[in-house]
Amino acid sequence: MVKELIKIYYIMAKDVKTYYFKPPNLIMGLMFPAVMIFTFSMRGIRDIMQFLPGLIAMTTFFGASSMETVIIALGRRDKSLERLLMAPLAFRTMLSGKILGGMAFGLVTTLILLPLGVGIFSLPIQRPLLLAVSIVVSAFSFSSFGAFIGVYPRESWNAMSLGNLTRFPMVFLSGVFLPVHKMPFILTKIAYFLPLTYSVDLMRSATINQGNILSWHYSLIILVLFGIFFLWISTKLIKRWLI
């Protein structure tokens, strides 16, 4: 078990050093959420308070999932995943290390933008511990989702296209901009199948105390289950395609 954890750590450290924390990647990870925060702040402090929790969740979502998708696809193209498996490594161990790298990037981008919301817009934090746990669990779920999207394409541009095709609709269907309970009936039902929905609800519960989908206990459990499911299905798929 300890050896497996060490292997997971070194895979994560390698990805973080090689891919994630380069200035262009950090800028890309922060640009879209920062632009959205600035745009909604133009409508006034009262409006931005309603949107900030969702924008925090969206920051974690894009940070943890976007680069993860590309890195998995690059690994398939340049055969680096096969080289890792020759170490030898289990498929689950390899993907766990990859997912931890995405988690780390998502956490860093969130922790860069979160102080802006608290310091500039005086975003209240009603439940600090819940906020911290929610960000970590969300980063795990979203990074697993990014790995799931990245196991199919072999080219980075295909991975980016497929990732954007799923991420952007999810942003608009998960309560980031419009609360889920105010959406049309069909869209509400779709929202319940999206992990970002539960992350947004958790952020709202932890900050402005206005979660409106489920109790935060259930939302946390569902997010963990999403992460485990995406890790499991990604392992199955990549095992099938690499063997």
Rounded to 5°, angle at Cα 163 from 48 and 4: 100
In this prediction, residue 209 carries a pLDDT of 83
HSE-CB of 39 using CA atoms within 13 angstroms: 9
Q: Is-contact 8 100, C-beta < 8 A?
A: yes
Phi-psi region of 58 (alpha: psi -120 to 50; beta: other; left: phi over 0): alpha
- Residues with Cβ < 8 Å from 174, sequence gap 6 or more? 54, 57, 180, 191, 194, 196, 197, 199, 200
In this prediction, residue 84 carries a pLDDT of 73
Rounded to 5°, angle at Cα 147 from 232 and 105: 125
Q: Is-contact 147 99, C-beta < 8 A?
A: yes
- Per residue in 148-186, pLDDT tens? 988 887 777 777 788 888 888 898 899 888 888 888 889
In this prediction, residue 57 carries a pLDDT of 92
In this prediction, residue 47 carries a pLDDT of 64
In this prediction, residue 141 carries a pLDDT of 96
- Per residue in 176-190, pLDDT tens? 888 888 888 899 999
- Ranges in the chain, pLDDT < 50: none
Specify the pTM. Answer: 0.88
Sign of CA dihedral 68, 70, 71, 72: positive
Nearest residue to 140 (alpha-carbon basis) of 226, 66, 209 = 226
